[in-house]
Structure 1
């Protein structure tokens, strides 16, 4: 996953601070760290995370960004929110953080691993998955209070996870890894390989999805 140091947004017909349409650069605070992931819960409210615990938030579509205190120096690789208040970030050394007030405060959760955690996906405020190095897949059914390790059958770096509902999900990573579950992760099965490193996966329904990676 490529590091981001600036933001690009597609704004069509935006009549505000920026009059132009198409893509334009948005610069958050000069925080000096690579930004690894971004998530918007609606047109205005979004978060970006990155190295050394960097967490940024906007409430006006990215015109202005504010720095939030994550309480960690770990590199953060992914962010997921299920509503305006409840969200998680994951990162290096097994870092899992949760907020229930939009990122004003973050609390650490215990996943039982020190592996780098690269991606997470929640289908509601209780049920979510985290993936990372060494084939690690963790699942929670109580908002992260407890995390249970699932058997992925992989030893590779798992880089991205996406669930269309509480049962059907997909994971991709290095070593041509594509995994699918139809029972919430109780069992994972390998799919036809793609490139040598598969970096991201996204589905719009249980049957239609896309994967990106290297040749």
Structure 2
């Protein structure tokens, strides 16, 4: 397994604000947060929130120590949901107004069937590691390269020995049954039954150095992964297997998003962003006026892609803008980890200082 690079450590520090106590601790210290429900927090909307999602018209935010917040008025007010763990949550997604998943520290996968009101634990890091070890041993007997197969088994054994300490960092469900989750050291698991069971995909993804995987995107049967040190991969068989792509950049990528016209955007360290109009076969650099790392991107109702950087600056990519990103409003001047469009067209951002609603994205921002 590779060591976490300096650039990746910066991202982990941003996305995983309690990595020292939850993710990087040994197995003896992770158990308590896995069995302790998230505590109610006063003014929770001002806490560290890491990711955002839409559940129909409802907004859902996830963050530190198992916090899940819900808003039914387009982000004007928030309330805390019931969550069975107190590990920090790094990503959340819904496939409709009721069914959703969240992932986070200690290999946690949570599911909800009531729009985020209540959550159940589907998977933890110890079980995820065991799934990879079982898969590695099963594939070893028929592997074309015995040496590579042995290395995979040894890496899986180390995952098991480490315990539930590896974070998941991204997820992508295409419906209520089928979804992919990825994370640190190349962790990747697939479900075809809504999370009732999981299958390790680590042996089917060309990621020999175990790069951390930070983002997922899909266009029909074609899937994309992005991660540290410029790692990019594509699947042409509906996530059965992934081949590594030639990368336009050696720094880490933290976000992937597709425009309505099919163009794929990828963004990462130092404000580097690229666009591909041929399914990742080639990439064109997008001109950005500031070298600040991109953390997240979302597709707006109009089909454009909106990217946000660590300084809270928003940039729009539309079909007619070519190889440039257009600034949207003034930078917020604070770290932002996620952005999403509410049902009324306002924008919601999440970060270290909590949640903020941008009522008129083109002109002004209001708390």
Match of 1:187 in 2: 282
Quote how far apart the aligned CAs of 1:60 are: 0.4
SS for the counterpart of 1:28 is coil
Q: How has the CA–CA distance of structure 1 residues 195 and 203 changed in structure 2, closer, same or farther, with 3 Å as cutoff?
A: farther
Mapping of residues 169-184 of structure 1, within 5 Å: 169-184=264-279
Quote how far apart the aligned CAs of 1:167 are: 4.0
Question: Structure 2: how far apart are the matches of 1:49 and 1:195?
Answer: 29
Question: Structure 2: how far apart are the matches of 1:177 and 1:133?
Answer: 13
Question: Structure 2: how far apart are the matches of 1:139 and 1:166?
Answer: 18
Return the structure number with greater helix share: 2
Q: How has the CA–CA distance of structure 1 residues 122 and 166 changed in structure 2, closer, same or farther, with 3 Å as cutoff?
A: farther
Question: Structure 2: how far apart are the matches of 1:174 and 1:103?
Answer: 32
Per mean C-alpha deviation after superposition, the further-off stretch among 127-136 and 158-167 is: 158-167
- In the alignment, structure 1 segments of 5+ residues that lack a partner are 14-20
Q: Indicate which of 58, 75, 88 corresponds to 2:167.
A: 75
C-alpha RMSD of the superposition: 2.1
User: 2:216 matched to 1:162?
Assistant: no
Return the structure number with greater strand share: 1
Q: Indicate which of 307, 310, 319 corresponds to 1:211.
A: 307
> Which of structures 1 and 2 has the larger relative contact order (alpha carbons within 8 angstroms, sep 6+)?
2
Match of 2:191 in 1: 99
State the TM-score, normalizing by the size of structure 2. 0.53
- In the alignment, structure 2 segments of 5+ residues that lack a partner are 1-13, 16-49, 51-62, 129-163, 312-367
Question: Structure 2: how far apart are the matches of 1:23 and 1:49?
Answer: 21
Tell whether the 8 Å contact from 2:180 to 2:190 is kept in structure 1 after alignment. yes
Quote how far apart the aligned CAs of 1:212 are: 0.8
Per mean C-alpha deviation after superposition, the further-off stretch among 168-177 and 2-11 is: 2-11
User: 2:200 matched to 1:108?
Assistant: yes
Give structure 1 regions of 4+ aligned residues with deviation exceeding 4 angstroms.
none
State the TM-score, normalizing by the size of structure 1. 0.88
Mapping of residues 122-161 of structure 1, within 5 Å: 122-124=218-220, 126-161=221-256
Tell whether the 8 Å contact from 1:37 to 1:77 is kept in structure 2 after alignment. yes
In the alignment of these two chains, the number of paired residues is: 206
Q: Compare CA radii of gyration and give the structure with the larger one.
A: 2
